[in-house]
Amino acid sequence: MLWKYRAVNNPVTRRKWLGFCAILLIFGVGYSIYRYSVTGNFKFTMLTLSFFALMVFLYTIITLGKPRYYFLNDEIVYKPFKTPLSNVEDFEVDYDNRLIRLKLKKPSLFAVKTLYFESDEDLEEVARFLRRKIQA
């Protein structure tokens, strides 16, 4: 089973990516203030800050619109992360945020722990598939 989602269409991932990019901008502004206090060159500082802000803005647009793919068969694959279905103990479905949180028997740093969805149909289909696989 294969499905895709884009972060712009999922409320949780949209908030996550917008927060991350806001933190990048805050660091950029902080570094620009520091550079201005050291060099005193206002024009160069504003030029580099505006270039950095443009790059963060473009990065935000790309990451929010980029399709991400999940593959589900005997293991859950979200490149480069994988979780075997035998490691999934239980799961909970959040219909409001369109995601499935997996409860793992052996938690791992590189395991897929949350499945995100763009449409309710994909969410229902994967929830049915997981119920069948876990109960079997």
Taking only the tens place, the pLDDT of each residue in 80-136 is: 888 888 888 999 999 999 999 999 998 888 889 999 999 999 999 999 999 988 886
Contact 76, 101 (CB under 8 A): no
CATH of 69-135, one of 1.20.950, 1.10.600, 2.30.29, 2.170.140: 2.30.29
Packing angle of the helix pair 42-65, 11-39 (nearest 10 deg): 170
Region 39-53 average pLDDT: 94
- The pLDDT value recorded for residue 1 is 80
Over residues 48-82, the pLDDT tens digits come to 999 999 999 999 999 999 999 998 888 888 888 88
Query: Is residue 16 very low, low, confident or very high in pLDDT (cuts 50, 70, 90)?
Result: very high
Mean pLDDT for the chain overall: 92
CB–CB of 95/10 below 8 Å? no
pLDDT tens digits for 103-114? 999 888 888 999
Residue spans of beta strands (DSSP E) within 1-130: 2-6, 67-72, 75-78, 81-84, 88-94, 99-104, 114-116
